[in-house]
Amino acid sequence: MSAALWVVGGEQKESLEEDEWHRFRAGVVVRVEGNKPERVLEYQSPPEHCPDDRPSHLFKAGTVEGDTIWLCTQTEVLECGFPGFDIRRVISLPCFNDLHHVTPGPNGNLFVAVTGLDAVAEITREGELVRLMDVMGGDVWSRFDPAVDYRKVPTTKPHRAHPNYVFFLDGQPWATRFEQRDAVAVDPSRNGNRGPFSVGIQGIHDGHVAGRRLVFTSVDGHVVTFDTETGEKRDLDLNSLLEPGDDRPLGWCRGLLTDENARQAWVGFSRIRQTKLRKNLNWIRNGFRDRLPTRIALYDLESPARLREIDLEPAGINAVFSIHGTL
């Protein structure tokens, strides 16, 4: 690996809280060069921006824009220098609950996956709310109360859609929906006669544009691509690239960095916790035996083949949400 990578995620509390909205001690960014991960940023939200009872602090998926990286916590958007990670600005709005991704849009505004409200928010870079769009096609405030400060609400689960990631086609925002296992135009009237893109498999997380391809991850370890011109769909099961006889679960698959034509990709995996295995993951085959560590892995998507892996746990990161750098 000739260039550094940056991995965004979080460190768990020592008490191993069972619910995610209590589980994480700090948001963490790790720099990886060679095989060595090194922590470069640790962050906790101030009390006024999070629930009063055992808040969870972690970074979800971010976006690099020139000398800036946009990060999000559960309830905030952070503008940081890149690669220095000096915090320049913190934006926090009452409608922010369980944010999962922030990215600049073609119009210069920021688009935020507000997962707790099943919505995507468009905001100015100064933090003014432009619009809040329901990813189910309805009215956000028909289900939620605009007078409530949702930063103080630990969770709004169960979610109808659980939007995870925002990307752009023809200048318009699209969002991945975990529950529907697809990606949809946030404003259906402006979908350019495309989609929705039905990924299938398990719930999906990342959605990236790489040349003429859309690239998605599913949490059970698939990388699914669509050719935006022909509609051709390819599904690569990363579980099939384990060593013969190794039937351990890959981990919670989330975090993706591809080259410009989606020929290679770094993919993130978060170690599966025992409580999650018991309650939520019907795709796990082998219980709790020999769970793989939190790590990133490089894949050749064409061959296909797994090329290398880097363990992130020595740097104290227990959950991966996004990977940044160049391939």
Q: How many domains does the chain have?
A: 1
Is 259 in contact with 222 (CB distance < 8 Å)?
no
Q: Is residue 212's pLDDT more than 80?
A: yes
Vertex 197, ends 135 and 102: CA angle to 5°? 50
Q: Which of 202, 210, 127 is nearest to 162 (CA)?
A: 202
Write down the pLDDT at residue 288: 46
Sign, CA dihedral 63-65-69-71, equals negative
pLDDT in tens, 98-121: 999 999 999 999 999 999 999 999
Task: Give the C-alpha separation, 267 to 325, whole Å.
Answer: 12
Instruction: With cut-offs at 50, 70 and 90, classify the pLDDT of residue 153.
Output: very high
What percentage of the chain carries pLDDT values higher than 70? Answer: 92
pLDDT in tens, 299-324: 999 999 999 999 999 999 999 999 99
Mean pLDDT, the chain, whole residue set: 92
Beta bridge partners of 278: none
Mean pLDDT of 48-71: 97
- Cβ partners under 8 Å of residue 39, min gap 6: 28, 29, 30, 31, 315, 316, 317
Write down the pLDDT at residue 7: 98
Mean pLDDT of 221-245: 92
Beta bridge partners of 174: 167, 185
Write down the pLDDT at residue 189: 79
pTM of this prediction?
A: 0.94
Most distant CA pair in the chain, distance: 56
For 273, which DSSP code? P
Instruction: With cut-offs at 50, 70 and 90, classify the pLDDT of residue 274.
Output: low
Residues in the chain, how many?
A: 327
Lowest mean pLDDT among 169-183, 199-213, 265-279: 265-279
Range of the domain at 43: 5-324
Residue 77: CA count within 13 A, CB half-sphere:
29
Element (H, E) at 279: helix 274-279
Is 193 in contact with 186 (CB distance < 8 Å)?
no
Percent helix, strand, coil in the chain, to 5, is: 10, 45, 45
Mean pLDDT of 252-279: 84
Q: Is residue 271's pLDDT more than 60?
A: yes
Sign, CA dihedral 173-186-114-199, equals negative
pLDDT in tens, 2-34: 589 999 999 999 886 678 889 999 999 999 998
Is 187 in contact with 164 (CB distance < 8 Å)?
no
| Residue 207, domain CATH | 2.130.10.10
Q: Which of 92, 68, 72 is nearest to 80 (CA)?
A: 68
- Cβ partners under 8 Å of residue 204, min gap 6: 164, 176, 177, 178, 181, 182, 183, 216, 217, 218, 219, 224
Beta bridge partners of 32: 5, 37
pLDDT in tens, 123-147: 999 999 999 999 999 999 999 999 9
- Sheet with 182-185, edge to edge strand ranges: 163-169, 172-177, 182-185, 197-198
Task: Give the C-alpha separation, 326 to 5, whole Å.
Answer: 7
Write down the pLDDT at residue 204: 94
For 67-94, the DSSP string reads TEEEEE-SS-EEEEETTT--EEEEE--T
